[in-house]
């Protein structure tokens, strides 16, 4: 997952993890615009301190050591870990000691979408990965990715990926 986020230059993971390039001894945040090394040449770290303790130096382009590990990182990390499914927007905001409005504003500013839409996209991407990489039934995948019904899952999947889950599975086999 970390390497995929790195290839996508996904800003949502900035501050959640850092990657080091073994050949150069430089560490960056996932959204860094430098060209990215192969996976075998990457080392991943939870914190800037761990990267530096392993002998890596901060990138001069993305300055990962200046990234604030603030509230937005906690909010996006909580959504990415599935807490929004369990708690809802109100419960997640309460657990982070912020208002629902502030939670929505943070997610909108950082990702350009709402918390619920971001969570739905995360779940659909997880389902897509399970469809292409496992032999789980479509029904099991729908419920493992916390859709409330197979019908809802199929409609959301087709709306997002312009193909049904079963058609995608056929295309990848």
- Architecture (CATH level 2) of domain 2-66: 3-Layer(aba) Sandwich (3.40)
Question: How does pLDDT run across 121-133, given as a tens digit for each residue?
Answer: 989 999 999 999 9
Whether residue 32 contacts residue 62, with contact meaning beta carbons closer than 8 Å, is answered with yes
Calculate helix-pair angle for 100-111, 71-80, nearest 10 degrees: 90
Token pair listed for 144: 């493992």
Share of residues in the chain with pLDDT > 90 (%)? 49
Mean pLDDT of the 100-129 span? 89
pTM of the model: 0.58
> From 3.40.390.10, 3.40.50.150, 3.40.50.620, 1.10.10.60, which CATH number describes the 117-167 domain?
1.10.10.60
């Amino acid at each position: 997952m970390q390497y995929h986020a790195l290839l996508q230059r996904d800003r949502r993971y900035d501050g959640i993890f850092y990657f080091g390039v073994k050949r150069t001894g430089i560490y960056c945040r996932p959204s860094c615009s430098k060209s990215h090394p192969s996976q075998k040449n990457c080392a991943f770290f939870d914190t800037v301190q761990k990267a530096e303790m392993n002998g890596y130096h901060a990138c001069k382009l993305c300055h990962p050591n200046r990234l604030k590990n603030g509230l937005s990182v906690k909010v996006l990390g909580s959504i990415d870990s599935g807490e929004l499914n369990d708690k809802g927007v109100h419960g997640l905001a309460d657990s982070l000691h912020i208002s629902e409005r502030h939670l929505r504003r943070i997610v909108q500013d950082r990702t350009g979408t709402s918390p619920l839409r971001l969570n739905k996209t995360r779940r659909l991407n997880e389902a897509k990965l399970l469809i292409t990489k496992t032999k789980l039934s479509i029904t099991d995948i729908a419920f493992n990715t916390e859709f409330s019904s197979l019908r809802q899952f199929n409609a959301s999947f087709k709306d997002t990926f312009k193909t049904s889950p079963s058609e995608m599975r056929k295309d990848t086999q």
